[in-house]
Structure 1
Amino acid sequence: MNLQAEPLDRVFAALADPTRRAILAKLTAGEATVNELAAPFALAQPSISKHLKVLEAAGLVSRGRSAQTRPVRLNPAALAQVDGWLGDYRGFWEQSFDRLEAYVKDLQQPEKPR
């Protein structure tokens, strides 16, 4: 396996779960405790903690230490990896859309008399 692909594989595996994506969305507003992250879900705190371990292993979140709590914060650098990977395909998609647009315009042209 490509060593550079491993971190990206962990990020995509973590992002595959809707609960983890929702946790990341909540963290865009700022750091939060495990209890705050668990509140909107019908999940027990240990289940949220398991999701956080996956996100942490992927480098998407980190945990700090503040008095009695361990706030969780978003690590945008891991998402930048995903953006970079997707950027490699952006040119292909744009060219494909341009060709599709030209084809649709061609179809919309009235047929010329022969």
Structure 2
Amino acid sequence: MDFQDVVRATQTGRSFKIKQPRFWVLCSLYLPDQIAENLPAIDVAKVRGQYLLGFNFKPVKGEYFPYGGHIWKVSNNPIQFPARYKTTGRKDSPFILAQYESTYESEAEMFATMLQLSVNSN
């Protein structure tokens, strides 16, 4: 069997896409005043307030996630406001509160911090 035959044997006629739906959550990010005083105002405006963030899985209380150069901790289980009637229309997104944990400068530092936090939480 030639190398080209091996390549042709492994190819499929159709391409497949893995669709992973995002779980959109309204996050209220709380940045302490002591931290905000040491950051530029433009950076503080990006991470203080309410933002609609997408997650691969439903966030749970105590979970850590990176956003905007900081690591945040989910401080409550998602609150889902119920629809008033059975509807096929759009529903309000769930709501969570997130507290500031730490700041990171690079992806490597972020992964190291997330690993350290996950080890400490077990």
Please indicate the TM-score interval, normalised by the length of the shorter structure: under 0.3
Tell me the TM-score normalised to structure 1 length: 0.22
More strand by share: 2
Tell me the TM-score normalised to structure 2 length: 0.21
